[in-house]
Structure 1
Amino acid sequence: MRKTFLSIVTMFGLLCLSLFYWQVCADIQNHPANPRYYQMFKEDRGVIFDRHGVPLAASASDGSVYARNYSTPSLSHVVGYFHQRYGMTGLERRYHEDLSQGRSLITTLDLDVQKVAEKALAGRQGAIVAIKPTTGEILALVSSPGIDGNALDGNWSSYLDDERSPFLNRATHGLYPPGSVVKPLVYGAALGEGLVERSQTWQDQGSLVLGNRTISNYGGRAHGSITIDQALAVSSNVVFAQLAISLGDRLLEMFRRFNLGIEVGFDLQNLGGFLPSGVASDYDAAQMGIGQGELLVTPLQMATVASTIANGGAMMRPYVVQEVRGGLKMRQITRPQITSQVLPPSHASALQEAMILAAREGTARTSRPSSLDYGGKTGTAQTGPGGDHAWFIGFAPTERPRVAIAVLVEHGGSGSQMAVPIGVTVMEAALGIDQ
Structure 2
Amino acid sequence: MNKSIRVTALFSIILTIILLINLTVVQAFSVDKYADNPKNQRGFYDMQTIARGQIFAGGTVLAQSTANEDGIYSRSYPVDSPAWGPVTGYLSTQYGASQLEASQNNILNGTDDSLITNNFMDLITGEQPDGANVEVTIDPQLQQVAYDQLTQPGYEGAAVALQPSTGKILAMASSPSYNPNNIDDQWAQLQEQEGNPLLNHATQETLPPGSIFKIITTAAGLNNGYNPDSTLTGASEITLPGTNTQLTNYAGQVCGGSQQVTLTTAFSLSCNTAFVEMGMDVGADELRSYAEGFGIGQESNIGVETAAGNIGEMPDDASVGQSSIGQRDVSMSALQAAGMAATVANGGVRMEPYLVNRITDSTMNEIRTTSPKEASTAVDEDVANALTDLMYASERNTSGYNGNSYASKTGTAEHGDGLPPHVWYVAFDPDRDIAVGVVVKNGGNLGESATGGQVSAPIGRAILDSYGGGQ
Question: What residue in structure 2 maps to residue 118 of structure 1?
Answer: 147
Q: Which has the larger radius of gyration?
A: 2
The aligned length equals: 410
1:136-147 paired onto structure 2 within 5 Å = 136-147=167-178
Structure 1 residues 27 and 192, CA gap change in structure 2 (3 angstroms):
closer
Q: Is the 8 A contact 1:308 1:314 kept in 2?
A: yes
Question: What residue in structure 1 maps to residue 294 of structure 2?
Answer: 258
Question: What residue in structure 2 maps to residue 128 of structure 1?
Answer: 159
Question: What residue in structure 2 maps to residue 393 of structure 1?
Answer: 426
1:14-53 paired onto structure 2 within 5 Å = 17-27=27-37, 31-32=40-41, 34=42, 37-50=44-57, 52-53=58-59
The answer to whether residue 322 in structure 2 is matched with residue 287 in structure 1 is yes
Which whole-Å CA distance do the structure 2 matches of 1:158 and 1:352 have between them? 45
- With structure 2 as the length reference, what TM-score do the two structures score? 0.82
For residue 238 of structure 2, the aligned residue among 200, 208, 215 is 208
Structure 1 residue 115: deviation in Å?
A: 0.3
Q: Using the TM superposition, name which of 201-210 and 159-168 deviates more.
A: 201-210
User: After superposition, what is the alpha-carbon deviation per residue over 1:12-52, rounded to whole angstroms, capped at 9, x for unaligned?
Assistant: 99876443212234449x844x4x753422332212121x3
Identity, in percent, stands at 29
1:33-432 paired onto structure 2 within 5 Å = 34=42, 37-50=44-57, 52-63=58-69, 64-71=72-79, 72-101=81-110, 102-122=131-151, 123-194=154-225, 196-210=226-240, 211-223=243-255, 224=258, 225-249=260-284, 250-277=286-313, 279-326=314-361, 331-360=367-396, 362=397, 364-366=398-400, 370=402, 372-384=404-416, 385-396=418-429, 399-412=430-443, 413-431=450-468
Amino acid at match of 1:129: V
Which whole-Å CA distance do the structure 1 matches of 2:399 and 2:165 have between them? 25
Amino acid at match of 2:181: N
Structure 1 residues 69 and 268, CA gap change in structure 2 (3 angstroms):
closer
Structure 1 residue 141: deviation in Å?
A: 0.6
Q: Is the 8 A contact 2:247 2:272 kept in 1?
A: yes
Structure 1 residue 400: deviation in Å?
A: 4.2
Structure 1 residue 53: deviation in Å?
A: 2.2
Structure 1 residue 290: deviation in Å?
A: 0.6
Question: What residue in structure 2 maps to residue 4 of structure 1?
Answer: none
Structure 1 residue 213: deviation in Å?
A: 1.8
Q: Is the 8 A contact 2:164 2:343 kept in 1?
A: yes
Where 1:276 maps in the other structure, the secondary structure is: coil
Amino acid at match of 2:231: T
Structure 1 residues 198 and 330, CA gap change in structure 2 (3 angstroms):
closer
Q: Is the 8 A contact 2:322 2:328 kept in 1?
A: yes
Amino acid at match of 2:452: G
Q: Is the 8 A contact 2:358 2:366 kept in 1?
A: no
Which whole-Å CA distance do the structure 2 matches of 1:286 and 1:420 have between them? 26
Structure 1 residues 148 and 199, CA gap change in structure 2 (3 angstroms):
same
Q: Using the TM superposition, name which of 306-315 and 79-88 deviates more.
A: 79-88
- With structure 1 as the length reference, what TM-score do the two structures score? 0.88
Which whole-Å CA distance do the structure 1 matches of 2:468 and 2:100 have between them? 26
Which whole-Å CA distance do the structure 1 matches of 2:40 and 2:394 have between them? 52
Structure 1 residues 206 and 26, CA gap change in structure 2 (3 angstroms):
closer
Where 1:411 maps in the other structure, the secondary structure is: helix
Amino acid at match of 2:361: G
Q: Structure 2 unaligned segments of length 5 or more: list them.
A: 1-21, 111-130, 444-449
Structure 1 residue 167: deviation in Å?
A: 1.2
Where 2:238 maps in the other structure, the secondary structure is: strand
Structure 1 residue 182: deviation in Å?
A: 0.5
Which whole-Å CA distance do the structure 1 matches of 2:307 and 2:341 have between them? 18
Structure 1 residue 137: deviation in Å?
A: 0.2
Which whole-Å CA distance do the structure 2 matches of 1:422 and 1:259 have between them? 23
Which whole-Å CA distance do the structure 1 matches of 2:232 and 2:310 have between them? 31
Structure 1 residue 100: deviation in Å?
A: 1.5
Tell me the C-alpha RMSD between the 2 structures: 2.4
User: After superposition, what is the alpha-carbon deviation per residue over 1:73-117, rounded to whole angstroms, capped at 9, x for unaligned?
Assistant: 121111112223332111111111121233111211011000001
Which whole-Å CA distance do the structure 2 matches of 1:208 and 1:241 have between them? 8
Amino acid at match of 2:211: S
Which whole-Å CA distance do the structure 2 matches of 1:31 and 1:242 have between them? 52
Q: Using the TM superposition, name which of 139-148 and 268-277 deviates more.
A: 268-277
Structure 1 residue 371: deviation in Å?
A: 6.1
Q: Using the TM superposition, name which of 413-422 and 265-274 deviates more.
A: 265-274
Structure 1 residues 414 and 424, CA gap change in structure 2 (3 angstroms):
same
